A and B are shown apart, each in its own frame.
Chain A
Amino acid sequence: MEIQMTGQTTGKAIELEQAAVHFGSFQAVHPTNLRIEPGEFFSILGPSGCGKTTLLRLLSGFLDPTGGDVRIGGKSMVGIDPSVRPTALIFQNLALFPLMTIWENVAFGLEMRGWTKAKRRARAEELLATVALSDHAGKMPAQLSGGQKQRVAIARALAVEPSVLLLDEPLSALDLKLRQHMRAELKQIQARTGITFVYITHDQGEALTMSNRVAVMNRGRIMQTGTPDDVYDRPDSAFVATFVGEMNAVDGKVVTALDRVALVETPLGRFRAANPKGLGPGDEAILFVRPEKMRLLNAKEDEDNSIAARVTRRDMEGAWSTVVAHAEGRELRLHLPHSGRDTPPSGEVTLGFSADAGVILPKGEMSDD
Chain B
Amino acid sequence: MSALTDPHRESFRLSMLLSDTRYRSYTFQGIALAFLIAVMAFLGANLLSNLAAQGLDISYEFLGSPSGYDINQRPIEYDSQSTHLRASVVGILNTLIVAVLACVSATVIGVFAGVLRLSNNWLVRKIMAIYVEAFRNVPVLIWILIIFSIMTVSLPAPSAFRGEDPDSSLLFGAFAFTNRGVYIPAPIMGPGAWFVIGAFIASIIGIIALRRHAVKVLYDSGKVVKTFWPSVALFFLPTLIVFFLLGRPIGLDLPALKGFNFQGGIQLRGSLIALWFALSIYTGAFIAENVRAGIQAISRGQSEAAAALGLRPRRIMNLVVLPQALRVIIPPLVSHYLNITKNSSLAIAVGYMDVTGTLGGITLNQTGRAIECVLLLMLFYLVISLSISTAMNIYNNSVKLRER
Real complex partners, A and B? no
Residues of chain B having any CB pair with chain A under 8 Å: none
